Structure 1
Amino acid sequence: MKGGNNVKDLKQQVAYLQGLAEGLGISKETKEGRVLTQIIDVLEGIALSVEDLRAQQADMETYLESIDDDLNELEEDFYEEEEDDTDYVEVKCPKCQDIVCFDADILEDEDLIEVTCPRCNEVVFINDGSYDDKCTCGEEHEEEDEEQLVAEKKSHTEDL
């Protein structure tokens, strides 16, 4: 990692300056000696801080990659496309003209179920058995199997 080498270079340069100052016999007793020594000490602190920041950044990148991987797994699980085998019936609301979709299994349900429009709360379908004999399109149908009736119901509502 190139950034890591720069930190080592910075630390090596500061160490070189410290050795040079000692080798030249720069005294901390003189004004110039105190200034140079203080500058070298500040540079050493900066080099250590940069080294710490680089290590923290590397840890943060590793942590973020881990979070990103976990998030990708969650997205795959959550947004997993499922095969939808459910047949739907669409009817047009007589009041607001919105299309209302509901599960075709309601047609087979023995309990009385009313389907209402979510927009205006108008009843758009009741499974009271009249659906088997007559489609809401107003046309009479001969006794047909349920799948064909659902398909016709869907096509009639799409025409609306």
Structure 2
Amino acid sequence: MSAREKIAYLKGLIDGQNLTDTPDKAKFYAALVDALDSLAVAIEEHEDVHEELNAYLEQLDEDVSDLEDELDELEGCECGCHDDEDDDDEYEDFDEEEYESVTCPNCGNDFYYEPALYDEDEDLVCPHCGKPFKLPEE
């Protein structure tokens, strides 16, 4: 029996037993049934949301599973175009000691530049906003 059916049964019992012989009792039982009915509505809404979220999570699980399968296929590929070692080589070329971080005074974004490539009086151009500015004093 659902919550709404139980509430309807309770309301029938109250009406059938003639428990509302005084206005105060009638008001009390009406308020009680109304409160229970509101709770039943809230429960049904939560059940709907729960079912919706469950369906969404099942779809996400399927999507992740599909992606994992695709990655497994790529790892098994013998063409050499999906080698993880190639990715590592790209990052090995970046030597942090050769670069310095700077904040653009115009847009406030941080970026790296290679000081060895710039003269002291040369302007640095921000890759974010494209505006030139003087190199910071060391």
TM-score of the superposed pair, with normalisation by structure 1: 0.43
Bigger Cα Rg:
1
TM-score of the superposed pair, with normalisation by structure 2: 0.49
Specify which structure has the bigger relative contact order, considering alpha-carbon pairs within 8 angstroms and separated by 6 or more residues: 1
